[in-house]
Chains A and B, each alone.
Chain A
Amino acid sequence: METNVLEVHNLRTSFYTDDGEVKAVDGVSFTLPKGKTLGIVGESGSGKSITALSILQLLASNGKIIDGEIRFKGENLIGYSDRKMRDIRGNAISMIFQEPMTSLNPVFTIGQQISESLIKHQKLSKRDALLKSVDLLKLVGIPSPEARVRNYPYELSGGMRQRVMIAMALACDPEILIADEPTTALDVTIQAQILQLIKELQHRLGMSVVFITHDLGVVAETCDYVAVMYAGQVVEYSDVFTIFKEPKHPYTIGLLNSLPRHDMEQDKLEPIRGNVPNVRDMPIGCRFSPRCPAATDLCRAELPELSKDDKGNDVRCWIYSDNWDGEMEVNVYGEKRIAQGRGVKAVFSD
């Protein structure tokens, strides 16, 4: 039976600033089955990174998780003391970040930085930790690792630094690796290498991966499950095939339509009209309603819950409820479909 290594329920994280509360994450739920990869997709500012940081409780000092559950192997991490969280961080759950250029400490050697988590979590001696660091560098494909452990970060390129970050994250055989846009800051060729490396290591080490990205291409390539985020909320969660074949939420449909495709002719890309709402001034109803081509009065007045559709996938949209009385045509990859009470009913082909 498939067990879930990570379950997030209705997570809410706020930041308290001089201008008041900012609800950066406001209703995020997803599950990550063991050994699988979950992609969290969304635009900048949709709360992806904050969700990741919330899981490890690494929020800035003015940020706070105000509600929800984060279950790691059944245990709710919220409410864990800082000491208990420290035993999890870098050990059972580890994280790599977007900016390899600035994520390594400039005044310590690569070896020292990898060793640290080994000394802390696996109680290795300095010597043994350094030896294991060499092995780890080898594992992530860094040439002449014996020499590299003595290097300082400034002596390595961006791609190499991200490999070091991965080596550091893998040091204690984590059960979950959270990768927060690990390839965004890298050249395209290096991106492919890093993605390949993460995939390979995941299979070899059997870990589960949370992959945060704004790149649907990366999702299609690496993920088993996808959570689509919009304005601090998960709007759709399902397996990767369903997301690409049968997207449900108008936002997901919009995202896919704004991607260029190689397998069919396109005259032009269809952008999602309008802008992401301001976090301080969220729409009362569905947060996507001001930009949604299907929005009705109901959508503008009331926020829909994230609920299961008839196929067991999660979607946060009124279209899939009994209450929706609108009717509209949606265009999914050039296919016309009709959205009507309880979902996208009819499928036409042009």
Chain B
Amino acid sequence: MAKYIVRRLLQTIPVLIGVSILVFSLMHLIPGDAAQIMAGEAASEESVEQIREKLGLNKPKPVQYFNYVSNAIQGDLGNSIRSGRPVVDEIKGRFWVTAELAVYATILAVFLGLIAGIISAVRHYTWSDVSIMVVALFGLSMPNFWLGLLLIQWFAVGVDFLPIPDFLMMRPSGWGDSWRQILLPVITLGTSGAAIIARMTRASMLEVIDQDYIRTARAKGLSEKIVIYRHALKNALIPVVTVVGLEFGAFLGGAVITETIFAINGMGRLTIAAITERDFPVVQGTVLVISLLFVFVNMLVDISYRMLNKRIDLS
């Protein structure tokens, strides 16, 4: 197992190189002169040159890439053009806000998704299955900007049950002090994931329930609870784990809309702001961090896959 983990870690190296090249190229894929665009149309020749100098854009591209990577490894992602602060510092505070949002959204998605999926599978073709699947289809099709607005309208504006989230300002440690503040954004972000996990769990459970070994388990005289939760679920979870991993990655990257609606100062809003303000070092930084996380989460998924399913001999 340890051998496998090391091996899997080594396998991420080429992926990381690919990611770094893509992120680095962001700066150079902009049509025209990146320095000119950053400086703005009205900028003088002199200030454009200054920016070019500052970003090292006058050096050959391989040298630029090498500098970028070696700085990045040392934790230096350059400085924000807008604020002048190091990109790492800009990201640090925001990162935990988004991470927390994504973690809670994942927990919600897994919790709701698994329960709904299992109930649906165990009672398949009954009205509870049909209604759960209809709700799941809604959850899946509902764009989350729309869901977010509806939730605000229903729970915050209408009944005053939850605070209107305009004060959800970033705090260094993350969220405010109340679960109420985090609830609506988490629901907004997590709903589609819950729907996907529910559908996946149902399909996977239905396939497993028909297997011969489930009949064997019943033939041993085990109760239906043990047959479902011990014998069926452990097998059915194997494909679901992949989906959970991918969803978590998607939540991290996809929090942009949710954060914008709920005025949460996370990575998503930082990225949006950086894009509109042409703060390219920050854009590069956020994309890099999210990509790294995605790679890392995928690795964890593969490892848990192996722990769940003894038949997969990956090493």
Contact = CB atoms under 8 A, between A and B. Distances in A.
Interface of A: 56, 58, 82, 85-91, 94-95, 97, 99, 102-108, 116-117, 120-121, 152, 154, 165, 168
Contact of A105 (B223, B224, B235): B235
A86 B308 CA distance: 28
A67 to B, nearest CB: 23
A121 B217 CA distance: 13
Contacts of A86: 221-223
6 contacts: A86-B222, A89-B218, A90-B221, A97-B216, A108-B234, A116-B217
Those 7 A-B pairs whose CB atoms lie nearest each other, nearest first: A90-B220, A89-B221, A90-B221, A102-B212, A105-B213, A152-B310, A117-B220
B311 interface: yes
Interface of B: 211-213, 215-224, 231, 234-235, 308-311
Contacts of B219: 56, 58, 89-90, 94-95, 97
Contacts of A108: 231, 234
B311 A106 contact: yes
Nearest to A152: B310
B311 A87 contact: no
Contacts of B223: 86
A89 B212 CA distance: 16
A97 B215 contact: yes
Contacts of A58: 215, 218-219
B199 to A, nearest CB: 21
Contacts of B218: 58, 89
B235 A121 contact: no
Contacts of A99: 212
A105 B221 contact: no
A87 B309 CA distance: 31
Given A152-B311, A154-B311, A103 B213 contact: yes
Nearest to A118: B220
B309 A106 contact: yes
B222 A116 contact: yes
Nearest to A92: B221
Given A86-B222, A88-B221, A103 B212 contact: yes
B241 to A, nearest CB: 13
B87 to A, nearest CB: 45
Contact of A165 (B216, B231, B308, B309): B216
B211 to A, nearest CB: 6
B124 to A, nearest CB: 9
A103 B311 contact: no
A175 to B, nearest CB: 14
A121 B221 CA distance: 8
A285 to B, nearest CB: 36
Nearest to A172: B221
Contact of B221 (A87, A97, A102, A104): A87
A55 to B, nearest CB: 11
Contacts of B234: 107-108
Contacts of B220: 89-90, 94, 116-117, 120, 168
